[in-house]
Chain A
């Protein structure tokens, strides 16, 4: 494994990915707005993409970049379904605050 990718030590890139993941987890934990939680999930997915690309380059194996492509497609599908759910919930509850979503049925 080559520990330096284009002059950048991979420990730096992995550290950046870890910071990004942690920020995403923090956002999911402390925010109450459902759309912001959704954006934090996008941050988490992006940090995972960064790790995939880094190891694809460090191990000189192309599969990592292909998997990133699939992750992006799944993120797009998640965005479509998740935001439709947000709209459906908002129509019933008139709110996007997750603290008020305590029952599975209405």
Chain B
């Protein structure tokens, strides 16, 4: 383990950056679930998202890094903080598991065992996929279209875009419909009923 770290630090400086961002990710993620005040948790989550965007950037997935900052650290966190402020959350006691040490230990054993299973499954169970396929060279993409030859795209954003609109057109359209339905559902769920409005005139909610 230590030799691997030394070997990689010598060969590439991006490994140091990965160590930094990974540490920040883990610390802030722990802070999310162990802070008593929900607003502090939300701020920690923003840092987690930014650190993950950094890791995506190191790995070369620049489009995903940009989307991470825009969608997660921007849109979703604004929504979460808005709801937190609207509900005026107070700090709470952590959990009833704190009062039962045996339950806490069992839960920790479950979570750690779960982690090691996940880790071994991920590192050993993935089949090798070596065949030259679409987007094999990550900075280039070629998609055969009958009659017109091939479509070529270059650059990370271009490759992801080409893959989205050529390989995954149907899922993309379905995502659009899903988002529309989700927005309508959110409006209907959060809307007051007509009779309720009269009763709760001075209430904010």
A51-106: which have CB < 8 Å to B? 51, 53-57, 59-63, 65-66, 68-70, 72-81, 83-88, 90-91, 96-97, 99
Which residue of the partner chain A has the closest CB to B19? A12
**B171 surroundings in chain A (CB, below 8 A):** 70
Q: How far is the CB of B203 from chain A (nearest CB, A)?
A: 9
- Complex contact A36–B33 (CB within 8 A): yes
Q: How far is the CB of A5 from chain B (nearest CB, A)?
A: 5
Known: A22-B115, A63-B167. A14 touches B123 (CB 8 A): yes
Instruction: State in angstroms the CA–CA spacing of A35 and B84 once bound together.
Output: 8
B43-66: which have CB < 8 Å to A? 45, 48-49, 52, 55-56, 58-61, 63-64
**Bitwise interface map of B from 1 to 30 toward A, beta carbon under 8 Å scored 1, else 0:** 000100010011111001000100110011
B182: contacting residue among A65, A80, A99, CB under 8 A: A80
**B13 surroundings in chain A (CB, below 8 A):** 7
Which residue of the partner chain B has the closest CB to A19? B26
Q: How far is the CB of B146 from chain A (nearest CB, A)?
A: 21
Interface residues contributed by chain B, number (CB under 8 Å): 89
A-B contact count (CB 8 A): 245
**A25 surroundings in chain B (CB, below 8 A):** 111, 114
**B138 surroundings in chain A (CB, below 8 A):** 56-57, 60, 62
Instruction: State in angstroms the CA–CA spacing of A30 and B205 once bound together.
Output: 28
- Complex contact A1–B76 (CB within 8 A): no
B183 contacts the other chain (CB 8 A): yes
- Complex contact A46–B48 (CB within 8 A): yes
- Complex contact B63–A65 (CB within 8 A): yes
B64: contacting residue among A11, A17, A69, CB under 8 A: A69
**A76 surroundings in chain B (CB, below 8 A):** 71, 75-76, 179, 182
**A1 surroundings in chain B (CB, below 8 A):** 126, 128-130
Chain A interface bracket (under 10, 10 to 19, 20 to 34, 35 or more): 35 or more
A43: contacting residue among B45, B95, B96, CB under 8 A: B45
- Complex contact A87–B189 (CB within 8 A): yes
**A-contacting residues of B (Cβ < 8 Å)?**
4, 8, 11-15, 18, 22, 25-26, 29-30, 32-33, 38, 41-42, 45, 48-49, 52, 55-56, 58-61, 63-64, 67-68, 71-72, 75-76, 79-80, 83-84, 86-87, 89, 92, 94-97, 107, 111-112, 114-115, 118-119, 122-123, 126, 128-130, 133-138, 141, 159-160, 163-164, 167-168, 171-172, 175, 178-179, 181-183, 185-187, 189-190, 192, 205
